[in-house]
Structure 1
Amino acid sequence: MSELSFKNSKVLVVGGAGFVGSNLCRALLAHELKELLIVDNLLSSDLSNVPADPEVRFIYGSIADDRVLASLPSDIDFVFHLACYHGNQSSIADPIADHENNTLTSLKLFEHLKSYAGLKKVVYAAAGCAVAEKTFDDAVATPEDAPISMFHDSPYSISKLIGEFYGNYYFTRHGLPFVKARFQNVYGPREILGAGRWRGTQHTVWRNVTPTFIWKSLQKEALPLDNGGNASRDFIFVEDMARGLMRCALAGTPGSVYNLASGAETTIRDLAEMINELTGNDTPLDLRPARDWDRSGKRFGSTDKSKRELGFSAKVSIREGLAKTIEWTLANRESIERCMRQHDYFMAHMR
């Protein structure tokens, strides 16, 4: 059977105004689509990320909303489900909101899609952190078949696994062509600090480590290193992630799971020092104790299966990717500041 193609396809991206989703949408638009549908409630994203293109139809709302589901055409070819409640800290602060935006969304979407006879692939954004071993000893690459613990650090991690479980159920029971793409730590342009609505914690503004470090470093501030920056992660540039997601849709086997990873382990301290070097920030690092909830330690993903079955490997080195992200941040400083400022009242009144 010949490989699938996006040409003349209708594609749905749930969470398409978000960081990864918006980069994926721009990559998809190069493939002569018939239509690109974007569903996003802008809870943790910004409308400026939606591509201005005649092939794009933007639907404002949650994919868990019956009205939104009813508005979807029945002849969709590909679905990318990237919506989530961002992220670990927000889910700890409000587990119910995490359930509504990170678990119920998956269940209702898969239930709706089970009757779509023409679907070619449904790609789900799973979380590599949910299966990685919790260790501060030397890490080994986490394979796709790693054992899954019943104990987790956050509702976010639990919700991401539940999404896999539901997708597996709809694959086995209803034949939903479901593929799991396990994310590592994605970074890059269009991750806007403060995008979306207030979600109860300072992490509405201060998101993942890379954009936070870049912004603070550009302001010549000290970069905060929890546990002295001893933890390590697998950082993958967002353009590589977009390519990996498309490879999951075109070449992934339904029912299978694939790591989308660089395969390289980088400590948070090394990340901070590299960012400071690239921005010219000579302010000393702020060494802090470990966060009380975080046992995630050191981790990186195995790339063997995705290389073998998808023909995917990351191309952008972390230094090159950080340089591109810093350049984008400088060029978009005003829009980032706008998103950050909208939360000034809540930040000022936090206890």
Structure 2
Amino acid sequence: MNSFNGSTILVVGGAGFVGSNLVKKLLEEGPARIVVVDNLLSADVSNVPDDGRIEFIARSITDDDVLAALPENLDYAFHLACYHGNQSSIADPIADHDNNTLTSLKLFDRLKDIRSLRKVVYAAAGCAVAEKTFDGASATKEDAPVSLFHDSPYSISKLVGEMYGNYYFARYKLPFVKARFQNVYGPGEILGAGHWRGTVHTVWRNVTPTFIWKALHGEALPVENGGIASRDFIYVEDMAKGLMACALSGETGEIYNLASGVETTVLELATRVNSIVGNKTPIALKPARDWDRSGQRFGDPAKAREKLGFTATVAHEDGLKRTIDWTRQNQVRIASCMRNHLAYVPDVGKYS
């Protein structure tokens, strides 16, 4: 099989931002069945496509009966579930363990017994291996050294997931491939989706949707540490294609950066968003985040290009325009999710 046509696929975290975009792309490939498992902790059910080929299970993949009921004829599995975000993991490390580390261990332990599997693709984190620097970044390669000191439980959990996958690959021949994410952005990331997770970042998530929402409402974009931090922004449809390439062409036991390879500072991002939206409110400069030492980083896409034939094709400005258009069209839905957290973030009550 060199395509997803007629296949049975598991997507854990498939109601989330990246997972739902992946499911939509997979549906275009003619699969027989897609099983989506998502406990909706940081996702919204509206992201799940209405398609008869999808079986949606709104529970955690750590539930033993959910694991037991997984199809025995799975061809592919994508593990994208996590306890969303560094800040949430700092606020509640135990919840991060339950929803980020334990999910990986229990899922891989179950999948080792499904002999039909062709590939298990795990969403790894580029931030967990990037050099901690504010003195100028070099492109992070797949074989970058890994520190034992980390900024957040989230980063630790994502690395532990890699290690568990490597163990099951080496011990049980689980066909495990690691896809190391950079900073994904694009349509489908709903501010406030899911349940309260102990921090305002339940609402104010990744930097791109936060900046877009505030710019659309004429607000100042909060830029920390002079905006010198840099990231590798990759459009979500490119990420979905990269994940699919990992499943079809990735070598078991290997890891691939899914990256644009372009370094963009947070100040550049803020300036670009304001320019596209037409927001005239000056940027609000804030102090550096006291927990974040990762500073400047971007990924090296050479291995994925050479081994998978994958290249991110959506330029950052074009991707931002598409994301801004989607946000405008979905403001009512986003505002509704944000207002679910009024008790904790009163300011979101102003959005309608």
Q: State the TM bucket, normalised to the shorter chain.
A: over 0.9
Give me the whole-angstrom Cα distance separating, in 2, the residues matched to 1:61 and 1:234.
32
Residues 280-318 of structure 1, C-alpha deviations (whole Å, 9 max, x = no match) = 001011011101000011000001100000000000000
Q: Does 1:272 align with 2:274?
A: no
Q: Describe the SS at the equivalent of 1:122.
A: strand
Aligned to 2:14: 16
Give me the whole-angstrom Cα distance separating, in 2, the residues matched to 1:142 and 1:111.
30
Aligned to 1:301: 299
Give me the whole-angstrom Cα distance separating, in 2, the residues matched to 1:242 and 1:32.
16
Deviation of 1:138 after TM superposition, in Å, equals: 1.4
Q: Describe the SS at the equivalent of 1:37.
A: strand
In the alignment, which of 9, 16, 26 is matched to residue 28 of structure 1?
26
Deviation of 1:339 after TM superposition, in Å, equals: 0.3
Identity of aligned residues (%): 67
Residues 23-59 of structure 1, C-alpha deviations (whole Å, 9 max, x = no match) = 0000000111010110000000000000000111101
Give me the whole-angstrom Cα distance separating, in 2, the residues matched to 1:337 and 1:185.
23
Instruction: State the Cα RMSD in Å.
Output: 0.8
Deviation of 1:346 after TM superposition, in Å, equals: 1.9
Residues 231-260 of structure 1, C-alpha deviations (whole Å, 9 max, x = no match) = 000000000000000000000000000000
Residues 208-242 of structure 1, C-alpha deviations (whole Å, 9 max, x = no match) = 00000000000010000111111000000000000
Aligned to 1:178: 176
Q: Does 1:211 align with 2:209?
A: yes
Deviation of 1:348 after TM superposition, in Å, equals: 3.6
Deviation of 1:4 after TM superposition, in Å, equals: 2.3
Aligned to 2:39: 41
Q: Describe the SS at the equivalent of 1:24.
A: helix
In the alignment, which of 324, 328, 331 is matched to residue 329 of structure 2?
331
- Structure 1 gap ranges (5+): none
Moved over 6 A (4+): none
Structure 1 residue identity aligned to 2:51: D
Aligned to 1:96: 94
Residues 261-289 of structure 1, C-alpha deviations (whole Å, 9 max, x = no match) = 00000000000000000000010110111
Length-normalised TM-score, structure 1:
0.98
Aligned to 1:6: 4
Q: Describe the SS at the equivalent of 1:103.
A: helix
Q: Describe the SS at the equivalent of 1:79.
A: strand
Aligned to 2:226: 228
Length-normalised TM-score, structure 2:
0.98
Deviation of 1:132 after TM superposition, in Å, equals: 0.3
- Structure 2 gap ranges (5+): 348-352
Aligned to 1:143: 141
Instruction: Give the paired residue count.
Output: 347
Residues 123-171 of structure 1, C-alpha deviations (whole Å, 9 max, x = no match) = 0000000000000111110000000000000000000000000000000
Give me the whole-angstrom Cα distance separating, in 1, the residues matched to 2:241 and 2:80.
14
Q: Describe the SS at the equivalent of 1:345.
A: coil
